[in-house]
Amino acid sequence: MTYLWSVFTKPWAGLPGDELGRLIAGLGFAGAEVPVRDTAYVTTATAEAELPKFTKQLRAEGIEPISVASDLTESVFAACAAAGVPLIRIMAPLGDDGYAASVRRNREQLEASVVLAERYDVQVGVQPHHGRFVSSTLGVLQLLDGLPERFRLVWDAAHDALAGDDPAVTIELGAARLGIVNLKNAMYLENADLENADLKNADPKNGRRWRTHFGQADEGLADWSAVHAALVRAEYSGPVCLTAQYSDLTVSVEDRVRKDLQTAVTSWRRDPSRE
């Protein structure tokens, strides 16, 4: 299978397009997901004016924008249409009113964005995320059920594993809506020191608190080889995005994500169906 190897550029969110393009091309990538947020070089307020110029600079360096991580406002849809960016990635947050009410609210927001997705010919991708979001692939698929085909699943290896799911199951069930595959790895670690704990992502279990730790390809609950096998069975050939998310920053993000890309590309050249 042929994949567009991409990277989420959040670690370098403040860089202009030309500098960013050179950096990630040098790491070995051919695609990029760009944050369009108030903390990034392109913000939601400036997106219509700046995103087309930003993506033109990326393409000049050989980098194809696969998506933006942003919100579902009309200005972001319009900016993506003008810039030729095919998809807006979001997550589905949970509120204090409970899971069912939160899902209804997220569904209403997605339904309200159908007209914008059609008007601007831009897809919407929903990613599961552990913690205070719809956390499972199957939960996202339920949320998307009945919406137009341009509403896609952004499958995520780490969050699928943190939810206790099996990629052989979730990728098969989500294949028809699969828009992007996020590749990272994570595990739960016990918090011995609550002062330094990531309490936002910590859950009480048997009187203890746990935190999530994002590591390299072989450091976590996700089996990237099993992910590849499931993608081959699903005949997926779209973007694969390494999210460049690591908890231990004593080694540079650039070194870590370069190593993970090499690991994935080298191992995924083999067709598991022939082994």
Distance CA 171, CA 117 (A): 24
CB 54 within 8 A of CB 42: yes
Distance CA 174, CA 156 (A): 12
Domain extent listing, the chain: 4-274
CB 268 within 8 A of CB 5: no
The backbone torsions φ and ψ at residue 91, rounded to the nearest 5 degrees and listed phi first, read: -125, 170
R_g (Cα) of the chain, nearest Å: 18
In eight-state DSSP terms, residue 62 is: T
pTM here is: 0.93
Token pair recorded at residue 31: 């695609």
C-alpha neighbours within 13 Å on the C-beta side of residue 193: 2
Virtual torsion, Cα 160, 163, 164, 167, nearest 10 deg: -20
Kindly report the number of other CB atoms within 10 A of residue 110's CB atom.
20
- With 70 as the cut, is the pLDDT of residue 272 above it? no
CATH code 3.10.20.30 for 4-274: no
The pLDDT tens digits for 67-114 are: 999 999 999 999 999 999 999 999 999 999 999 999 999 999 999 999
In sequence order, what are the residues at sequence separation of 6 or more whose Cβ sits closer than 8 angstroms to the Cβ of residue 28?
5, 258, 261, 262, 265
The pLDDT tens digits for 207-223 are: 457 889 999 999 999 99
Distance CA 36, CA 10 (A): 10
Token pair recorded at residue 59: 């393409």
Distance CA 261, CA 79 (A): 29
Confidence of residue 192 (pLDDT cuts 50, 70, 90): low
Predicted pLDDT of residue 209 = 72
- With 60 as the cut, is the pLDDT of residue 194 above it? no
Predicted pLDDT of residue 274 = 53
| 244 backbone φψ class: left, alpha, beta (φ>0; ψ -120 to 50) | left
- With 70 as the cut, is the pLDDT of residue 165 above it? yes
The pLDDT tens digits for 10-28 are: 999 999 999 999 999 999 9
